[in-house]
Structure 1
Amino acid sequence: MKPNYTLYLVTEESMPLDQLLLTVEEAVKGGVTIVQLREKKASGKIFFEKAKRLKALLSSYHVPLIINDRIDVALAVGADGVHVGQSDLPLAAVRNIVPSSMIVGISVSTIEEAKEAEGNGADYIGVGAVFPTHSKDDAEVLPDGMLEAITNAVSIPAVAIGGIKLNHLPALREINIAGVAIVSGIMKAHDPYNAASSFQKEMSSTK
């Protein structure tokens, strides 16, 4: 089954387990189609526990779980995929380690990186930051037109990420993206179900 990248939820750093599970479940009920667990600061043990519980939860909704950076955690919990950055283990090496069935995504911010990702077997690319974001300290905002140029340069799905709010979606839908990745807009929402539902509704509006 091909993954649906339309509404790609990236979890908020260091959220307590119970709160994380509750928030993600509400978001999935609201229309999130794929989830990435991102824990840059957590110990391996805590990351593993969160991943294991999240995998069990998401499996019951048939929603894929992607693990950020930690290939060992992804393999240990039988996650559906792994997402790496430009400074992590090279994509070709990741492909050698993980089963062929595993989704492999990579963050890109240039046409060259996108083409290299496609050539090295990436299943999708995360393109950003599209707008200023507080979720990632070192994220640089893409120049005007770059998101479109990157998505047009490759044939694999491209997911826009970085500071995306509801009012940005009509313009983003005009670009050939497979979906949008949302962090704060859902994870920090007062009502994650309604937030996800609003994003999903806007993303699936007819162009």
Structure 2
Amino acid sequence: MLNLDDIKLYFIADYHLVKTAGKQFLPTAMKAVEGGVQMVQLRWKNAAFQELLNLALHTKAILPEDIPLIINDDYRIAFFSDSDGVHLGKEDASVREARNFFDRGSRKMLIGASCDNIREIEEAKRAGADYVGFGAVFPTETKKNAVRVREDEIKKAARIDSIPVFAIGGITPDNVVDLIRAGFRRVAVAGAIILSDRPASAASRFRELLG
């Protein structure tokens, strides 16, 4: 299975946000990779199965082999597109359900889970998640119904070393410094890269700050 230890910058390639910004999806994803993102999540809410599968196949085909592709929500798409894993929100399938489905294949696939408190991180780990996204750590326009995490839990989450924890939600090059001071070394970013006039430069700046 892929090793997440060295992955610090996780790009959430949100299809709707890319289109709203008047950009093309695949070129935007590649610019982010050129800038230094180390893992890509394809997020396309409410897409038809075949539409999402086709985009997943095209995205997987153009990404460098060392850049994992994670599919948001649908573990079937992740499996049939030969992607590297799935990220599950609270309203999606359970971690155990996804793992049982993946076990029919010949390779271990990654499963990530969305969490907004320490208890949920612990539950996700026990259920078999390989990493978690923790947030929203800041106000975010990307996910309208995102729950802000408590400030005292941000430092607690940053200290967890039993499972990779990616801070997510409203993260920019300006405020990521606050997360780094709190102890975070992994972040997941959407808008700050997608909406930038220079996505590659935005990604590169995050990598510089994260070290």
Instruction: Name the TM-score, length of structure 1 as normaliser.
Output: 0.91
Indicate whether 1:105 and 2:112 are aligned: yes
Structure 1 runs of 4+ aligned residues shifted over 6 Å read none
Match of 1:9 in 2: 11
Match of 1:77 in 2: 81
Give the gaps of 5 or more residues in structure 1.
none
Match of 1:42 in 2: 47
Query: How many angstroms apart in 1 are the aligned matches of 2:125 and 2:158?
Result: 11
* CA separation of 1:25 and 1:153: change in aligned 2, threshold 3 A: closer
Q: Deviations over 1:4-45 (max 9, x none)?
A: 4311000123346x8111011111011000000001122112
Q: Deviations over 1:175-196 (max 9, x none)?
A: 3434111101001111111111
* CA separation of 1:153 and 1:30: change in aligned 2, threshold 3 A: closer
Match of 1:19 in 2: 24
2:185–2:210 CA contact under 8 A, matched in 1: no
C-alpha RMSD of the superposition: 1.7
Instruction: Name the TM-score, length of structure 2 as normaliser.
Output: 0.90
Match of 2:133 in 1: 126
Q: How many residues align?
A: 202
1:9–1:181 CA contact under 8 A, matched in 2: yes
More moved, 157-166 vs 80-89: 80-89
Query: How many angstroms apart in 1 are the aligned matches of 2:24 and 2:42?
Result: 14
Q: For residues 47-196 of structure 1, what are the structure 2 equivalents within 5 Å?
A: 47-58=52-63, 60-99=64-103, 101-152=108-159, 155-196=162-203
2:102–2:109 CA contact under 8 A, matched in 1: yes
Matched residue type, 2:119: E
2:15–2:25 CA contact under 8 A, matched in 1: no
1:147 offset after TM fit, Å? 1.8
Query: How many angstroms apart in 2 are the aligned matches of 1:8 and 1:149?
Result: 21
Query: How many angstroms apart in 1 are the aligned matches of 2:177 and 2:144?
Result: 26
Matched residue type, 2:92: D
Report the 3-state secondary structure (helix = DSSP H, G, I; strand = E; otherwise coil) of the residue aligned with 1:174: helix
